[in-house]
């Protein structure tokens, strides 16, 4: 995780994407959170890259992905 002055990048790993339409769903859900600047979902490797203000708790991001119907967890490695 690299931290710059105002933006933190968090990478989540999700399990079980099945169709490209879930990409849009997750990007929309997570993008609605206040303080999230950018969401990029990698379909093949099931990664979700999120740039957000440090004030946004990672748990909220995980919860937003869960609302879209997918289980995700932050990665260390």
Output 19 or 34, the one with its CB closest to another protein: 19
CB of 28 to another protein, least distance (A): 13
Output 47 or 63, the one with its CB closest to another protein: 47
CA pair distance 47, 34, nearest whole angstrom: 21
Half-sphere exposure of 35 (CA within 13 A, CB side): 14
CA pair distance 17, 9, nearest whole angstrom: 21
Output 4 or 44, the one with its CB closest to another protein: 44
CB of 34 to another protein, least distance (A): 26
State the residues that interact with another protein by CB under 8 A.
Answer: 1, 11, 13, 15-17, 19-21, 24, 42-47, 75-77
Q: State the pairing for strand pair 8-15/36-42.
A: unpaired
């Amino acid at each position: 995780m690299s931290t710059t002055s105002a933006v933190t990048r968090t990478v989540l790993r999700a399990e079980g994407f099945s169709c490209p339409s879930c990409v849009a769903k997750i990007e929309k859900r997570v993008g609605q959170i206040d303080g999230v600047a950018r969401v990029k979902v990698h379909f093949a490797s099931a990664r979700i890259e999120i740039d957000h203000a440090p004030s946004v708790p990672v748990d909220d991001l995980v919860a937003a992905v869960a609302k879209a119907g997918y289980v995700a967890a932050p990665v260390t490695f």
